[in-house]
Structure 1
Amino acid sequence: MKTKILLTVLLLIACAYSANSQERIKFKKGEYFTNIEGGVPRGEVYSYVVGASKGQFMTITIMSPEDNAVFYILRTDNWQYMAGATEDNPTTRWEGTLPANGDYQIVVGSNRGGAEYTLQVVIE
């Protein structure tokens, strides 16, 4: 009985992790942008983390065949949203000068159904 309970708990943890998995964005040497293709099931999110420096200009665009993929951005040093791309107001395009050194989390989801997408991140 204890084994079944333990297996159930581990399965639930694995499902929660896969539903909210995270990937670090890495740029190829000498490049300042990347395109990431992915998909997110209905009701789930996928997170990307990108490191950048204070004063750099970042542009993020998400494109999807059904125009249903959206994202929001968080600073990981204080977990504040970036203006214009919040959980309550996700977007398909954001650009701005970064206020601090460190990691920024880009959380991709869908505003209806599941979504296939191409996420473009540019840092200059």
Structure 2
Amino acid sequence: MWGNKDTRLVGIDKFGNKYFEKPSGTAGRTRWVEYADKKYYNASNVPPEWHGWLHYVTDHTAEQLEDLRPKRYGLEHQPNRTGEGEQYIYHSKGHVLSPNQRDWSRYDPWKKADAAPMS
């Protein structure tokens, strides 16, 4: 944790990330996240309800927003797993590692035409 006796733990999300805040009026960063997984993390590990709090869109924490959330919401937030395994990586059709790689052999390479003799 970032050392400061004025720092307070605001909450912990369902992924185990911890959210901290320094009192307002303090110079520098006043809200931040400490990721649960120190080896693999990126911004998509932060659920939307905490993203708004981190970026000062709202002063409500995720627990406070949960009370306001409509009960008919659909899917739960999932972190972006791009690059985590071959099954998650997208390769375009022209990419060497693509399972649907195009067959480029049907194209003939360009050849320079012989110059016509000048008379």
Q: TM-score, normalised by structure 1?
A: 0.22
More helix by share: 2
> Could you say which structure has the greater relative contact order, defined with CA pairs below 8 angstroms and 6 or more residues apart?
1
Return the structure number with greater strand share: 1
